[in-house]
Amino acid sequence: MKRLLSIAVVLSFLASAVFADKQQQPITDGTLTDQVRVHLANDQDVGGMNIGVDVKDGTVTLSGKVRTDKQKVKAEKITKKVKGVTGVVNKLVISPD
């Protein structure tokens, strides 16, 4: 019985160590690029806009054209909420065309 309990404790410890390691792995720039693009595309105000997304060390640069200041602000706000984003450089240009 003691042996089974010892084995269970060891297995539990190993499982928690593996799980903790997976949680601490940094999110790659490529993953962030994909996640930001998906979040922007799924938004009703900025989805469909031609917004460029470039990520370097967790900092996202947004570029391209939007029609309104509201869209520019919203794109930045959406981007900041993506887990792993450390900063946003908003180079979006307002062009009502």
Distance CA 46, CA 75 (A): 7
Q: Can you tell me the mean pLDDT for 72-94?
A: 96
**Cα–Cα distance list, 14 to 1, 6, 9, 20 (Å):** 20, 12, 9, 10
Name the residue with higher pLDDT: 71 or 23.
71
Query: Domain 26-94 adopts which CATH fold?
Result: Histidine-containing Protein; Chain: A; (3.30.1340)
Residue 66 — pLDDT band, cuts 50, 70, 90?
A: very high
Q: Where are the domains of the chain?
A: 26-94
| Pairwise pLDDT comparison (28 vs 26), residue with the higher score | 28
